[in-house]
Structure 1
């Protein structure tokens, strides 16, 4: 019996009903599914029954050998490909063609992988299991206390849904937190014409102190008069909090701040 390794944040999903719900959440007729962290291959076994080609990336060499043996016939039939690698270090291989991402993500790396998939034009969407606290940050709506930069980065590229919670008892060993499955279908790109990294820095400033006003947070990097003018024009309170502004208005404010900066630079 293989033991879960703490250094890889491993918790093996054992609940059959949860596995079925994850499979049911995945769109039909996908040509290519990428699974990150297949573990003992329990979910993989269900994925290979779907149409299309499955590619798995497993960082644990011991698990990799177990998977090669377990899925020898599927690999031989070219229904399944398994790579022993860190997914974040192998993203060029993942992104060589369009794909849909499926994963039970370790908590320590979940946010980075989701953000990587969101920014990857080859990724059509994802169904992933993550810590519920993080799932809420990605799926929250404007006005929710959990609404954050992560929800905006998801919202500019698609629709994020928290599908269901997963109790600790669904895993072996049991984690100390509640998990949740989220689905993001990427059906738009509102960042076209914007510099993505610059927008991320802007959001980081906006949410730097969530309990403070948006005006106070952003005035460190953007002229206070510009923010006040924007909020007044949009009939918004000058004391509005970061979680109360919607995705469209964040994009609009970012665009106006960017134009203002460009005009200031050109006038020098």
Structure 2
């Protein structure tokens, strides 16, 4: 059955085949009673390992794979150990607000093209407690980078705000997949804080701050705010105007945003 299925580029499919990597992902799972949600189960190789340990819900958009998975996990579906939902996971979030009715851990090999969006949606999902996902290494580095690191970005700041812990567990070489991707992947682990709400306007502010990451932060902000207004804020917070976005920590960004929001002086 596996050989009759060809990975589809439009869904960003790369099927994980390395049993050692699959085992390492399972060993990384938090020891708790949470349900498991998987996004994009593919041919079910990771799923097969997940359902041995916990009840699992999987979201799959590809109709051809749905048929494969229903056949492969017929017993688990009948026994209510496995629920397979045929839909676009982003639509499911829009419609239901959460991917599961109670606490769950997201464990998945994510399609590269929507991985960042999925993780950000998981941040907003109050029932999602832990995230263990395979994504492109460069993107994983942006989620986990610390201030003064060149990879430090708005994603790093958002992750620091919502997480108790965020780190890369290990890298996964291209040959672990069929077909092999052109990049190295990483397993990203994020344990979320409870009841953290992200201010949408703050996220927009960060987007402006990192609009040109290698430019000075002052330059990026001056496209939206008056320079005199920004200079006053910089002086009040004792920030050097020469700093670039990756050289400013979460606390300072929060303080800057508060002053900008209260001042509301756009250029």
Same fold by TM (over 0.5)? yes
Match of 2:179 in 1: 173
Q: Aligned-pair distance for 1:42?
A: 0.8
Residue 264 (structure 2) pairs with residue 258 (structure 1): no
> Gaps (5+ residues) in structure 1?
none
Closer, same or farther in 2 for the Cα pair 1:229/1:188, shift >3 Å? farther
* Superposed CA RMSD: 1.8
Measure the CA separation in 2 of the matches of 1:203 and 1:58: 32
Cα deviation digits, residues 39-75 of structure 1 (max 9, x gap): 1111111111223x21000111111111111111111
Measure the CA separation in 2 of the matches of 1:190 and 1:227: 28
Please give the residue correspondences for 1:70-85 in structure 2 after superposition, counting only pairs within 5 Å.
70-85=72-87
The farther-off stretch of 120-129 and 199-208 is: 120-129
Cα deviation digits, residues 131-180 of structure 1 (max 9, x gap): 11111111111111010011111111003211111100100111111111
Closer, same or farther in 2 for the Cα pair 1:224/1:97, shift >3 Å? farther
Residue 142 (structure 2) pairs with residue 140 (structure 1): no
Q: Secondary structure at the match of 1:127?
A: strand
Residue 167 (structure 2) pairs with residue 164 (structure 1): no
- For the Cα contact (< 8 Å) 2:37–2:100, is it kept in 1? no
Q: How many residues align?
A: 259
- For the Cα contact (< 8 Å) 1:156–1:188, is it kept in 2? no
> Gaps (5+ residues) in structure 2?
none
Q: Secondary structure at the match of 2:152?
A: coil
Q: Secondary structure at the match of 1:73?
A: helix
TM-score, with length taken from structure 2: 0.91
Q: Aligned-pair distance for 1:216?
A: 1.1
TM-score, with length taken from structure 1: 0.91
Residue 68 (structure 2) pairs with residue 66 (structure 1): yes
Q: Secondary structure at the match of 1:237?
A: coil
Please give the residue correspondences for 1:228-239 in structure 2 after superposition, counting only pairs within 5 Å.
228-239=231-242
Residue 25 (structure 2) pairs with residue 22 (structure 1): yes
Q: Aligned-pair distance for 1:226?
A: 4.1
Q: Secondary structure at the match of 2:118?
A: helix
Match of 1:185 in 2: 191
Of 197, 200, 204 in structure 1, the residue corresponding to residue 200 of structure 2 is 197
Q: Secondary structure at the match of 1:156?
A: helix
Residue 248 (structure 2) pairs with residue 245 (structure 1): yes
Measure the CA separation in 1 of the matches of 2:60 and 2:191: 24
